[in-house]
Amino acid sequence: MIPISYYLIFAAALFCIGLFGVLARRNAIAILMGIELMLNAVNVNLISFWRYATPEKINGQVFAVIVFAVAAAEVAVGLAIFISVYRRRGTVSADEIDLLKW
Protein backbone atom coordinates (compact mmCIF):
# COMPACT_ATOMS: atom_id res chain seq x y z
CA MET A 1 0.00 0.00 0.00
CA ILE A 2 1.19 3.50 -0.81
CA PRO A 3 1.31 5.91 2.14
CA ILE A 4 -0.28 9.31 1.59
CA SER A 5 3.16 10.91 2.01
CA TYR A 6 4.14 9.74 -1.50
CA TYR A 7 1.23 11.60 -3.05
CA LEU A 8 1.71 14.76 -0.99
CA ILE A 9 5.43 15.00 -1.74
CA PHE A 10 4.80 14.28 -5.41
CA ALA A 11 2.13 17.00 -5.54
CA ALA A 12 4.39 19.47 -3.71
CA ALA A 13 7.19 18.81 -6.22
CA LEU A 14 4.83 19.21 -9.18
CA PHE A 15 3.46 22.43 -7.71
CA CYS A 16 6.94 23.87 -7.20
CA ILE A 17 8.04 22.96 -10.73
CA GLY A 18 4.94 24.76 -12.02
CA LEU A 19 5.68 27.71 -9.75
CA PHE A 20 9.21 27.93 -11.14
CA GLY A 21 7.79 27.90 -14.67
CA VAL A 22 5.32 30.68 -13.84
CA LEU A 23 7.98 32.87 -12.21
CA ALA A 24 10.89 32.27 -14.57
CA ARG A 25 9.60 31.72 -18.11
CA ARG A 26 9.48 34.64 -20.51
CA ASN A 27 6.89 33.32 -22.94
CA ALA A 28 3.34 33.91 -21.71
CA ILE A 29 2.04 30.57 -23.05
CA ALA A 30 4.80 28.78 -21.11
CA ILE A 31 3.62 30.63 -17.99
CA LEU A 32 0.12 29.28 -18.65
CA MET A 33 1.60 25.76 -18.87
CA GLY A 34 3.16 26.29 -15.45
CA ILE A 35 -0.25 27.27 -14.08
CA GLU A 36 -1.69 24.05 -15.52
CA LEU A 37 0.98 22.03 -13.69
CA MET A 38 0.13 23.82 -10.43
CA LEU A 39 -3.61 23.15 -10.85
CA ASN A 40 -2.83 19.49 -11.51
CA ALA A 41 -0.81 19.28 -8.31
CA VAL A 42 -3.77 20.72 -6.39
CA ASN A 43 -6.05 18.12 -7.97
CA VAL A 44 -3.73 15.27 -7.00
CA ASN A 45 -3.87 16.55 -3.42
CA LEU A 46 -7.67 16.80 -3.45
CA ILE A 47 -8.11 13.28 -4.80
CA SER A 48 -5.55 11.73 -2.44
CA PHE A 49 -7.19 13.37 0.59
CA TRP A 50 -10.55 12.12 -0.68
CA ARG A 51 -9.19 8.56 -0.98
CA TYR A 52 -7.29 8.52 2.32
CA ALA A 53 -9.56 10.56 4.61
CA THR A 54 -13.18 10.34 3.48
CA PRO A 55 -13.66 7.75 0.72
CA GLU A 56 -17.31 7.32 1.73
CA LYS A 57 -18.07 10.96 0.92
CA ILE A 58 -17.59 12.36 -2.56
CA ASN A 59 -16.70 15.98 -1.77
CA GLY A 60 -13.05 15.71 -2.81
CA GLN A 61 -13.94 14.49 -6.29
CA VAL A 62 -16.55 17.25 -6.70
CA PHE A 63 -13.91 19.86 -5.83
CA ALA A 64 -11.56 18.33 -8.40
CA VAL A 65 -14.28 18.50 -11.06
CA ILE A 66 -14.80 22.21 -10.31
CA VAL A 67 -11.03 22.75 -10.58
CA PHE A 68 -11.15 21.10 -14.02
CA ALA A 69 -13.86 23.51 -15.15
CA VAL A 70 -12.02 26.56 -13.81
CA ALA A 71 -8.77 25.43 -15.47
CA ALA A 72 -10.51 25.02 -18.82
CA ALA A 73 -12.11 28.48 -18.56
CA GLU A 74 -8.81 30.06 -17.53
CA VAL A 75 -6.89 28.54 -20.43
CA ALA A 76 -9.53 29.58 -22.96
CA VAL A 77 -9.55 33.21 -21.83
CA GLY A 78 -5.77 33.33 -21.32
CA LEU A 79 -4.96 32.03 -24.78
CA ALA A 80 -7.50 34.41 -26.34
CA ILE A 81 -5.79 37.32 -24.57
CA PHE A 82 -2.36 36.18 -25.78
CA ILE A 83 -3.56 35.86 -29.38
CA SER A 84 -5.03 39.36 -29.16
CA VAL A 85 -1.83 40.76 -27.62
CA TYR A 86 0.26 39.06 -30.30
CA ARG A 87 -1.86 40.67 -33.00
CA ARG A 88 -1.39 44.14 -31.54
CA ARG A 89 2.19 44.00 -30.25
CA GLY A 90 3.77 41.18 -32.25
CA THR A 91 5.07 39.36 -29.18
CA VAL A 92 3.90 37.12 -26.35
CA SER A 93 7.00 37.63 -24.24
CA ALA A 94 5.86 38.52 -20.75
CA ASP A 95 8.54 41.17 -20.20
CA GLU A 96 7.73 42.96 -23.45
CA ILE A 97 4.01 43.25 -22.70
CA ASP A 98 4.39 46.40 -20.60
CA LEU A 99 1.39 48.52 -21.61
CA LEU A 100 0.33 48.93 -17.97
CA LYS A 101 3.81 49.93 -16.81
CA TRP A 102 4.86 53.53 -16.68
Partner 1 sequence: MTFIQLFFIFAAAATLGAALLVVTSRNLIHAALWLIVSLFGVAVFYVILNAGFLAMVQVVVYIGAIAILMIFAIMLTRKVSQVPKPVFNSNWIWALLIAVVMFGSMTWILNMWPQFEAIPPALDPSIDPLRQLGVALVSPEAYVLPFELASLLLLAALIGAIVVAWESR
Binders of partner 1 in range 39-68 (CB under 8 A) = 40, 43-44, 47-48, 50-52, 55-56, 58-59, 61-62, 64-66, 68
Tell me: does residue 89 bind partner 1 (CB under 8 A). no
- Scan residues 15-34 and list those touching partner 1 (CB under 8 A): 15-21, 23-27, 29-30, 32-34
How far apart CA 44 and CA 61 sit, in angstroms, is 10
- Residue 98 interacts with partner 1 (CB under 8 A): yes or no: no
Distance CA(77)–CA(73), nearest Å, equals 6
Distance, in Å, from the CA atom of 93 to the CA atom of 41, rounded to the nearest integer, reads: 26
